[in-house]
Chain A
């Protein structure tokens, strides 16, 4: 079994991807080659932008099962419409109209149980794709990407996680922002969660929401403060008060922000920043041995 680390934030743009990519690289070069980076931010996957040497190993389509109603078999009884909790089915008996909106459908299968006339069958509807990348011999970066217009991000994350190798020593999940179902799906299997925040009122407010989610999900977690030096000191007071562990502090560095902009996160890393990632990797190694 792999040791699974999820990187989350609540607020967007705090530096999840920056931390995930750097941590992955630190672990790969200094600890074990057998690590996979899994980009679970399927709405806006960005990890690959930082690995120009990565080659596609495999790409597959993610499908969702969507019911299709055969109007020649349908009696327009509306039972399926009643069963559908997601308002994806519309039946108008007077004009013999029956249709399913794939963008509303959650593929739960309830309508199949509702129909007693065999009028509903499931068809495959593409909602995104999974890609495996490699920079050597084996897959080390996995990405899920949601098809534009589909609201089924959680299903892609589920398939993406299943696609990662349990043979890896470590899996790093780069989570989407927010605190709702896609984040829950990403974090659900994680052994440890790193919450990345920034020292601003926005960062702190959303950190509190995410900490509540972690407590509810009974996850072990620690904090990385990114862009340290900007904003204020409130986040540190909060961590102390709540007795939450501060794992690393990445100082704000305008030059390095410019490098990030160009996709050059992994070259010319300022020594102070490199040191913080080493500290984080060592912490995780101890934690993993302890768990």
Chain B
């Protein structure tokens, strides 16, 4: 089984639209939406949930005001400024600032502090018209999206092995921080979906640096390539110098948006279009060398 994560650095370059297109071309593949902050793949794949699991999020401290003597020791020691005096008296924890480190709980001289896991996060195993899909729903403002990404990936891998799948295809998050790191550690390949804008390029360069740190083979796709053909050329040249294989270029076309509006992948929505052809070519470039090995 080959695990592939689709990433972009900059958001909105078309990761999910292209993942959905690959999904309608892939055979014997498991899919995972690991952009747990803002998941959208389910809007196209329309999963039917078969299994729901709770993910225990970060702990959040809670102060028992009956026991608390307002000594303020915890306020002094908390490095996240998460504990405050209430205007009506007593202390309280701001759940959005608490990192769940349990320091206050351990040092309170009166044992007035306890902590509980947030139970706001869930992950699912579902059926879709293209195969099994794993996805998650995170509570607003949660602390641990990186860990949730890791959990979804781990279970997706298990499913893929169980089904003897050829591929596990992950739709990743934007950025290069903890969620992006959690989405690429140990994967076999990364596909970078980028767009020819200064910000798209700048962000792609940062993502490439991250992927290279982990020594993962990288493919690139330039989406909306005709928005700026000069930057497209610069990107192509840059990919060559970095030894990154360009899978292909996709021109801007409102059909990509219209496909999403119709809850379809571009392959389903306009099967004979130029874009569909290009994406088919790309998917073949990814899968053919692997099939040959078999």
Give me the interface of A with B, judged by CB distance under 8 Å. Answer: 9-14, 17, 42-44, 46, 49, 83, 85-86, 103, 106-110, 113-114, 146, 148-151, 153, 176-184, 188, 200-202, 205-206, 209, 212-213, 216-217, 230-232, 254, 257-258, 260-263
Q: Which residue of B lies closest to A107 (CB)?
A: B79
A44-B206, A153-B178, A216-B141 are known; give 15 further A-B pairs, CB within 8 A.
A11-B11, A46-B203, A85-B101, A108-B99, A110-B101, A110-B106, A148-B206, A177-B11, A177-B38, A180-B37, A200-B260, A217-B96, A258-B227, A261-B197, A262-B197
- Given A149-B181, A149-B210, A261-B196, A14 and B141 contact (CB-CB distance below 8 Å): no
Contact of A153 with B261 in the complex, beta carbons under 8 Å: no
B residues 144-178 near A (Cβ < 8 Å) are 144-146, 173-178
Flag whether B202 is at the interface (Cβ < 8 A).
yes
Given the known inter-chain contacts A149-B210, A151-B146, please indicate yes or no for A183 contacting B101, CB distance below 8 A: no
Residues of A within 8 A of B10 (CB): 12-13, 44, 46
Give residues in B with beta carbon < 8 Å to A: 8-13, 16, 37-38, 40, 43, 58-59, 77, 79-80, 96-97, 99-103, 106-107, 138, 140-146, 173-181, 195-200, 202-203, 206, 209-210, 213, 227-228, 230-231, 252, 254, 257, 260-261, 263
Provide the residues of chain A in CB contact with B140, threshold 8 Å: 179, 209, 212-213, 216
By the criterion CB–CB under 8 Å, are A201 and B263 in contact? yes
Q: In the complex, which residues of chain A have a beta carbon less than 8 angstroms from the beta carbon of B138?
A: 179-180
Would you give the shortest CB distance from A32 to chain B, in whole angstroms?
Answer: 27
Task: Check B100–A183 contact: CB distance below 8 A.
Answer: no
Which residue in B38, B196, B202 is a CB contact (below 8 Å) of A178?
B38
Closest residue to A47 on the B side, CB-wise? B199
Nearest-neighbour CB distance to chain A for B45, whole angstroms, equals 12
- Taking the closest CB of chain A, its distance from the CB of B37, in whole angstroms, is 3
Assembly CA distance A17 to B174 (angstroms): 15
Complex contacts, B179 vs chain A, CB 8 Å: 178, 180
Assuming A11-B11, A184-B96, A201-B43, is B101 touching A86 (CB within 8 A)?
yes
A12 x B12 contact (CB < 8 A): yes
Cβ distance A260 to chain B, nearest Cβ, rounded Å: 6
Partner of A148, one of B43, B210, B231: B210
- Please, which residues of chain A bring their CB within 8 A of the CB of B11? 9, 11-14, 177
Complexed CA–CA distance, A188 and B37 (Å): 18
- State A8–B140 Cα separation when bound (angstroms): 14
Q: Could you name 25 residue pairs across A and B whose Cβ atoms are closer than 8 Å?
A: A10-B38, A12-B10, A13-B11, A13-B12, A46-B10, A85-B58, A108-B101, A110-B106, A146-B176, A153-B177, A153-B178, A177-B11, A178-B37, A178-B179, A179-B142, A180-B143, A181-B142, A200-B260, A201-B43, A201-B261, A201-B263, A206-B38, A261-B197, A261-B227, A262-B228
Residues of A within 8 A of B174 (CB): 12-13, 43-44, 177-178
When C-beta atoms are compared, the residue in chain B nearest to A214 turns out to be: B140
Q: Is there an interface contact between A201 and B198, defined as CB atoms closer than 8 Å?
A: no
Q: Beyond A12-B174, A44-B9, A231-B257, is A148–B38 a contact (Cβ under 8 Å)? A: no
Shortest CB distance A150–B (Å): 8
Considering the chains assembled together, what is the distance between the CA atoms of A200 and B173 in angstroms? Answer: 18
A259, B243: Cα distance in complex, Å: 29
Nearest CB in chain A to that of B174: its residue: A12
A178 to B176, CA, bound (A): 13
Partner of A261, one of B101, B102, B228: B228
The CA-CA distance from A150 to B12 in the complex, in Å, is 23
Task: Using CB atoms, name the residue of chain B closest to A110.
Answer: B103
The residue from A43, A49, A217 contacting B198, defined by CB atoms under 8 A apart = A49
Task: For the complex of A and B, list the 9 residue pairs with the smallest distance between their C-beta atoms, beginning with the closest.
Answer: A13-B12, A12-B11, A178-B37, A151-B178, A108-B101, A43-B175, A261-B197, A213-B140, A261-B228
Within the complex, the shortest CB–CB distance from B293 to chain A, in Å, comes to: 31
